[in-house]
Amino acid sequence: MPLHLYSVSHRECDFTAVAEAATSAKSFEAELSANTFVSGVVVISTCNRVEIYLNTAGEFDDVTDFIPALRSWNHIQGEPVLDHLFLVAAGMDSMVMGEREIRGQVRRAYDRACSRSQVDSTLGRCFEAALSTSRKVAQLAGLEEMGRSIVSVALDLAEKTVDLKGATAVLVGTGSYAGASVAALRTRGIGRIISYSISERGPEFAQRHGLESIEKEDFLLTLEQADIVVTCRGHAPVITADIVADVMERRNQDLTFVDMALSRDVEEEAGEIEGVHLIDLECVRAEVPDLEREQVMAASRLVEQGVMDLRGKMRMRNADSLVLQLRKHLSQAVADEAARLPSSGQVSVEQAVRSLQRLANRIAHVPTVNAQAAASQGRTQEWAEAFMDVFGREDDDADAPAVEAAEKEGADV
């Protein structure tokens, strides 16, 4: 199976390395999708992982020949790629076990690749099956209910320094965690959410989520009035230490920042300013909860079954070319025999029987030759089992004497 996965994640690297990988993945994706040896590519990039899923054409299996930088990434290939994809989609490989957002992130990455015509049939089957299994995990194993999202864990930490009920929050950015942040803040009784974004998506995002929206000139004044600031932008620090210091001079109470961006939105030095509480992804990673053993085991069983079912289907498809070849052979035999029949179309019973007998003899010729060869080599039982796999077995006991006789005859030769 020519499936490959190149990845950088929170399990092996710090978030700086993941952020750098996210930047590189954009150019890698373009190179891979344009390469004739690559038949499919899907890139998943989240706050704690960057993964490039590939399906390579033919026997080609080393894309690092033309992208050497990928040699430093974690690499697995073949069927283990399926295991990993299913675990990721189900939220079982996340920083927070049972993370709610990951299925949506995998779906969006897959849909994006599809829209760019980067998904071949193999990757398509893999992702569709993984997403289907992830829904079962959420519904049947209770993993999603037990597991908290990264946003929820971050807000748990924030509530140690600020009371969110009735509070005013400033939400910076429209990134992948922005929508989840809005929902999580409202669940905790936030009083007011003010959206700030310098991107073109800002107004549409604010309107879709029913948020107040501010312009750049009102940003500093709004920070002075806020109780908590949640950032989900992730390009470059939009809130510098100087900005925070200026804001804190005008305030008479502490201010909590929750930075959900892979590439920091809030400069790390801002957390050292008196009265500032800075919660980032590293803080979240240190506080992630474990799930109940029962839920994890139930989810693992569903994932294992999902992978097993997909592997079976993919292996069955490997036989498609053989089945096609068999059908072609049989069709040709029928066509040849039909050509021998009278052109008038009038066929007697005797002619029909002879024609069917010739067709049967032709179909049986190769298996007969192979049976004789197997018998001469003492492999009659092996051949018989293969024969029964192809043509079926009605009565095991009735076949036994024939097999034994054939083996004896072969041994006497």
Q: Would you kindly state where each structural domain of the chain is located, as residue ranges?
A: 3-147+292-311, 150-287, 323-407
Query: Rounded distance, CA 116 to CA 337, Å?
Result: 49
Query: Rounded distance, CA 1 to CA 311, Å?
Result: 10
Q: CATH classification of 3-147+292-311 is 3.30.460.30, yes or no?
A: yes
Query: Rounded distance, CA 158 to CA 142, Å?
Result: 26
CA atoms within 13 A on the CB side of 92: 28
pLDDT at residue 326, as a whole number: 73
Q: Are strands 38-45 and 74-77 parallel, antiparallel or unpaired?
A: unpaired
Query: Rounded distance, CA 214 to CA 228, Å?
Result: 16
Tens of pLDDT along the chain (413 residues)? Answer: 589 999 999 888 888 888 889 989 989 999 999 888 899 999 999 888 999 999 987 666 678 888 999 999 999 998 899 999 999 999 888 887 777 788 889 999 999 999 999 999 999 999 999 999 999 988 876 666 655 688 888 999 999 999 999 999 999 988 778 888 999 999 999 999 999 988 878 889 999 999 999 999 999 999 999 999 999 887 778 899 999 999 999 998 999 999 988 788 999 999 999 999 999 988 988 887 666 677 788 888 999 999 999 988 887 766 666 667 777 877 887 888 788 878 777 888 888 888 888 888 888 888 888 888 888 888 888 878 877 877 776 555 455 555 455 445 444 43
Q: Say whether 47 is catalytic.
A: yes
Longest dimension (CA), the chain: 107
CATH class of domain segment(s) 150-287: alpha beta
Query: Rounded distance, CA 261 to CA 140, Å?
Result: 31
pLDDT at residue 401, as a whole number: 52
With vertex at residue 259, the alpha carbon angle to CA 254 and CA 260, rounded to the nearest 5 degrees, is 145
Is the fold of 3-147+292-311 the same as that of 150-287? Answer: no
pLDDT at residue 184, as a whole number: 92
pLDDT at residue 404, as a whole number: 54
* Tokens of residue 2, six digits: 């020519």
User: Which of 98, 99, 35 is CA-nearest to residue 296?
Assistant: 98
pTM score of the predicted model: 0.65
Identify whether the C-beta of residue 129 lies closer than 8 Å to the C-beta of residue 239: no
pLDDT at residue 58, as a whole number: 64
Query: Rounded distance, CA 350 to CA 362, Å?
Result: 19
Q: Given phi > 0 = left and psi -120 to 50 = alpha, else beta, which region is 194?
A: beta
Out of 13, 47, 126, 232, the active site residue is: 47
